[in-house]
Amino acid sequence: MARKKKHEEHVNAEAWAIPYADLVTLLFALFTVMYAVSSVNDGKFRVLSDSMIAAFHGTPTTPKPINLGEKESGKGGDRKLVGVKPTVLLKIDPATQIAPPPDPNTPLIGNKGTQTEDPASFSKMQQQVQDAMQSLIDAKTVSVTRESLWLKVEINTDMLFPSGSAGFSDRAQPVLDKLAAVLKPFPNPIRVEGHTDDRPIRTAEFPSNWELSAARAASVVHEFTKAGIGPLRLEIVGFGEYRPLQANDSAAGRNANRRVAILISEQTPANAAMGSVQPKASVETKGKSDE
């Protein structure tokens, strides 16, 4: 008997189209999701960027603040940002890379609000300071000058401190007591700055000029607190040799640069004379030193 021939199975040449279509659909869904989540909120991105710059390179130098309390970029741009305060960035002087002196309008730590000092009262304080320091002003060891929002009293450190030391000399006590007696009744904030010449120092106590200048400013602040001036009014800054008045190429120039500057703000925080916050010292970096 003749055997029947087996028919060959039909091969579907388009079977690949189904998994290919599934793959294309999945890829489309994937890229759609990626596009949706990649929509960047410009405001939040700038905040993150500036925070990273501040962490690795110091404070950002842009003079423009980022207004976070108004609108949010991207989707729903008119939606308010809840619980986010506007950020104001401090502009650094590119010439010195040192932040400018604090704004006298800014209240000290722990204070709320400011009040403007009576100009007549401030002028009265200036006159009292000049009268108390007149003999030293005549001897050119102390200078009293009125600046924009400050009264500046500069005292030559050779009269206050022995060479390379932050301990007072015998002549320092009467001078600081006179000055403290004048400043004590007034509520104005006081900033004490230490300055040196450019001669290096490297001791166990003072590795550089920064430490020496800040320690001298701190000694003056401690003397003021002993005389009864509220610690909340006081601030310490050490500038080392980096804010000279004259060139350091002569004995007279170095002598002028070794000084303690006492800046009394014309603006008074509402409770500047209250509280007992410890004075703060800012030593900015390491450098050379004084005597």
pLDDT in tens, 101-150: 555 444 443 344 444 456 788 888 999 999 999 999 999 889 999 988 89
pLDDT value of residue 31: 86
Q: Which residue has the higher pLDDT, 14 or 218?
A: 218
CA–CA distance, 191 with 256 (Å, rounded to integer)? 20
Q: Is the pLDDT of residue 184 over 90?
A: yes
Residue ranges, CATH 3.30.1330.60, the chain: 114-283
Measuring CA to CA, which residue among 233, 231, 236 is closest to residue 215?
236
Residue pLDDT, tens place only, 60-87: 555 555 554 444 444 444 454 444 444 4
Q: In the predicted model, what is the mean pLDDT of residues 2-15?
A: 63
Q: Is the pLDDT of residue 223 over 60?
A: yes
Q: Which residue has the higher pLDDT, 144 or 275?
A: 144
Q: How does 201-218 read in b/e, with b if 16+ C-beta sit within 10 Å? A: beeeebebbbbbbbbbbb
pLDDT value of residue 6: 59
Residue with tokens 């704004």, as numbered in its chain: 103
Measuring CA to CA, which residue among 287, 279, 285 is closest to residue 236?
279
Highest mean pLDDT among 28-42, 62-76, 192-206: 192-206
Strands (E), the chain: 114-116, 142-146, 150-156, 190-195, 234-238, 259-265, 267-269, 281-283
Structure-block tokens of residue 158: 């050779």
pLDDT value of residue 131: 92
CA–CA distance, 62 with 46 (Å, rounded to integer)? 12
Q: Is the pLDDT of residue 271 over 80?
A: no
Contact 280, 235 (CB under 8 A): yes
Residue pLDDT, tens place only, 235-256: 999 999 999 999 999 999 999 9
Q: In the predicted model, what is the mean pLDDT of residues 214-237?
A: 94
Q: Which residue has the higher pLDDT, 272 or 171?
A: 171
pLDDT value of residue 53: 77
What fold does the segment set 114-283 form as a domain?
A: 60s Ribosomal Protein L30; Chain: A; (3.30.1330)
pLDDT value of residue 273: 39
Contact 47, 66 (CB under 8 A): yes
Classify residue 82 as left (phi > 0), alpha (psi -120 to 50) or beta. Answer: beta
CA–CA distance, 190 with 263 (Å, rounded to integer)? 6
Q: Position 120: which residue type? A: A
